[in-house]
Amino acid sequence: MMTFLVRRLAIILPTLVFVSFIIFGLQQLLPGDPALAMAGEERDPDAIAHIRKTLRLDEPIAMRYAYWMAGVVQGDLGISLRIQKPVGELVLQKLPVTLQLAAMAMLVALLIGIPMGMLSAVKNGSAWDYGANVIALWGLSTPNFWLGIMMILLFSVELGWLPASGYVPPAEGLGANLAAMVMPAFVLGNAIAAVMMRHTRSAMLQVLSSDYVRTARAKGLYERAVIGKHAWRNASIPVITLGALEFGQLLSGAVLTEQVFSIPGFGKLIVDAVFNRDYAVVQGVVLCTASAYILLNFLADIAYMLVNPRLRS
Amino acid sequence: MTALLEVEDLRTSFKVESGRFQAVDGIDLRLEAGRTLGVVGESGCGKSVTALSIMGLVASPPGEVAAAKIRFEGRDLLALSADAMRDLRGDRLAMIFQEPMTSLNPAFTVGDQIAEAIQRHRGLDRAAAWARAVEMLRRVHIPAAEARAHDYPHKLSGGMRQRVMIAMALALDPKLLIADEPTTALDVTVQAQILDLLRRLRAESGMAILIITHDLGVIAELADDVTVMYAGKVVERAPVEALFEAPQHPYTIGLLGSIPRLEREQARLDAIEGVVPNPLSPPAGCRFHPRCPFAEARCREAEPGLGPVGPSHFAACWRTPLP
């Protein structure tokens, strides 16, 4: 068990180094020159040269990578070229927003996807099953931005129940915060719920036809124990994988949904940064989300071990 | 004497794309308390479906169980509600399966899987149920039972897992144990140990056993009476000695001919030619006639009924002598 965890931990560092190469390398391929972007309309050659010098843009790529990494390992992600603020500060500012949105969307996805998947597997071939599949197909094929706009039209414009957009920090009122977040969370969660439902359904169908489920029934166990204990424990493994991946996806920012609801999260931060050639911000945000992704996968591995005793020995 | 289990005209079918597949086609079984009935036949003859039908474990849909009667301890199982059937299952009526490797849940300890059945039916607290589970593991001769109870199934060998399955089935002192090919997946030496264990536990508890197998060796070891099934029907029924000494149905004779014997020089074993008929379109007349070396014209036209051929001995063949 410990060797499994240690092995998993041991590959995290090389993975992160590799990710940093990719982030830094791809960044260099982006068209445009930050020095030009910053120099403004005048394009004074002296000013451009000065900017190049201070940003070390005239040095070889390997050196620039080394400077960047030296800062990163000390917790310094660099300075935003555009707003002249430390990237670390920007990330910390947006992180709670994105984290809250991702957590709420995940909650929506789990609460809808898993029970619906279980129901449609248990009632395989029935009206429940077809109904759940239709809802899942709808969730999969509805674009997030469209659903977002429709919800704004219904709940904000027509009914006036919820604010159409904007973000309120929880410190300024939890009710207002939740009211602002519930629609974007539902929009994001709805699409993931559909995928969750399909995966839960197929995993449950497979497990329900297994010999040990028959054994559980032969013992005279109630169906809730057969389904909830014997079947679900084994069917949850692929669902955990999917959950970790989807959560990582959410953390990297929901660009369209944040745009529609004007939520100031990672998605908005990174889009603004890319348009403005704000290298340091793009690198910093992508590195943070990649790290979060890797961490989530590690947590999923731990969850596997808790669920699957064969991995523990 | 009233029988512990009486099955009359059991018909179990499954809905498939091309129609209905009649897995069991009107069979009768009778088992007295404390006795052992063997049901023997090739794969696909309907013997496992018979067991699952009695247990109420045939999934519906696609399965459908119909019978004139399935009586257990005087109660009509077909008339019982799903809840009443659940109360019976695992308590008075228990079952063990062919595949000990896959029949235990990989995610829970064996002690937990035994104890949960005890808690379910007896309402004991966790500690008492666990103690009973450990005691059952000891009864099926699992060494270091206290420690093994905390093991997950993947740590145990096939033979040990089948012992766990037996411990689980017998934890509530059932009156009837249905054993579906309990030794098929095991090594030969382990098979003998498991049969020995079943015999000993039967003597201790006085339970009846319905043993389902394709292996006449297992029948000889364990059964008092034998029912031979072919393509969803009973073709012969006899006390075990009579069946081995004077088999009447050509199919039974064929089955016995395919067992190697030490006392007889044999260049090669006799195999039954051909394959089991397609259950979606069984042959007309006697279902065995396409493979029967003695088949004659009337076998192709009409189906023979089960008729007496000796004391408590019945066979369904046109050529068996009338008494």
Residue B269 has pLDDT above 70, yes or no: no
Q: How far apart are CA A284 and CA A85, in angstroms?
A: 13
Residue B322 has pLDDT above 60, yes or no: no
What digits encode the pLDDT tens for the residues B180-194? Answer: 988 888 888 888 888
Q: How far apart are CA B155 and CA B159, in angstroms?
A: 12
Q: What is the mean pLDDT of residues B219-233?
A: 90
The structural domains of chain A, with segments of one domain joined by +, span 97-275
Q: Is B30 on the interface with A (CB under 8 A)?
A: no
Beta carbons of A251 and A192 less than 8 angstroms apart: no
Q: Is A214 on the interface with B (CB under 8 A)?
A: yes
Residue B121 has pLDDT above 60, yes or no: yes
Q: Render A133-170 in DSSP notation, one character per residue.
A: HHHHHHHHHS-HHHHHHHHIIIIIIIS--S-SS----G
Residue B262 CB neighbour total at 10 angstroms: 5
Residue A9 CB neighbour total at 10 angstroms: 11
Q: Is A216 on the interface with B (CB under 8 A)?
A: yes
Question: Å from A217 to nearest chain B CA?
Answer: 7
Could you give the count of Cα atoms lying within 13 Å of A278 in the half-sphere of its Cβ? Answer: 25
| Option in B55, B106, B155 nearest A218 (CB) | B55
Q: How far apart are CA A115 and CA A120, in angstroms?
A: 9
* CB contact (8 A) between residue A218 and residue B89: yes
* CB contact (8 A) between residue A233 and residue B152: no
B170: burial class by Cβ within 10 Å (0-12, 13-18, 19+)? buried
Q: What is the mean pLDDT of residues B218-225?
A: 90
Q: What is the pLDDT of residue B46?
A: 86
A to B CB pairs, distance under 8 Å: 79
Give chain A's residues under pLDDT 50: none
Locate B287 and state its tokens. Answer: 């279902």
| Option in A125, A212, A219 nearest B120 (CB) | A219
Residue B33 CB neighbour total at 10 angstroms: 15
* CB contact (8 A) between residue A211 and residue B154: no
Contacts of B87 in chain A (CB under 8 A): 220
Which residue of B17, B97, B104, B105 to mutate against A (max A Cβ within 10 Å)? B105
Split at pLDDT 50, 70, 90, the class of B323 is very low
* CB contact (8 A) between residue A215 and residue B165: yes
Q: Is A230 on the interface with B (CB under 8 A)?
A: yes
Which chain A residue lies closest to B58 (C-alpha atoms)?
A214
Best CATH choice for the domain A97-275 from the list 3.40.50.720, 1.10.3720.10, 1.20.1730.10, 3.40.640.10: 1.10.3720.10
Cα dihedral B50, B55, B58, B60, rounded to 10, equals: 130
* CB contact (8 A) between residue B90 and residue A230: no
* CB contact (8 A) between residue B89 and residue A234: no
**Greater pLDDT, B77 or A61:** B77
Which chain A residue lies closest to B90 (C-alpha atoms)?
A219
Residue with tokens 């006899």, as numbered in its chain: B238
Q: Is A308 on the interface with B (CB under 8 A)?
A: yes
Q: Is B94 on the interface with A (CB under 8 A)?
A: yes
| Option in A211, A217, A220 nearest B99 (CB) | A211
Residue B1 has pLDDT above 80, yes or no: no
Beta carbons of B316 and B306 less than 8 angstroms apart: yes
Residue with tokens 């809840």, as numbered in its chain: B83
Average pLDDT of chain B, as a whole number: 86
Residue B211 has pLDDT above 60, yes or no: yes
Split at pLDDT 50, 70, 90, the class of B131 is very high
Q: Is B107 on the interface with A (CB under 8 A)?
A: yes
Residue A10 CB neighbour total at 10 angstroms: 10
What digits encode the pLDDT tens for the residues B44-61? Answer: 788 889 999 999 888 877
* CB contact (8 A) between residue A233 and residue B168: no
| Option in A212, A218, A220 nearest B105 (CB) | A212
Q: What is the mean pLDDT of residues B30-37?
A: 91
Q: How far apart are CA B294 and CA A282, in angstroms?
A: 86
Question: Å from A306 to nearest chain B CA?
Answer: 9
Residues in Cβ contact with B198 at an 8 Å cutoff, skipping those fewer than 6 apart: B166, B179, B182, B209, B222
ipTM field: 0.86
What digits encode the pLDDT tens for the residues B286-309? Answer: 888 888 888 888 888 888 888 888
| Option in B120, B152, B155 nearest A220 (CB) | B120
Picking from A63, A59, A55, the residue whose alpha carbon sits closest to that of residue A34 is A55
Question: Å from B321 to nearest chain A CA?
Answer: 42
Share of chain B above pLDDT 90, in %: 29
Could you give the count of Cα atoms lying within 13 Å of B229 in the half-sphere of its Cβ? Answer: 31
Question: Å from B12 to nearest chain A CA?
Answer: 18
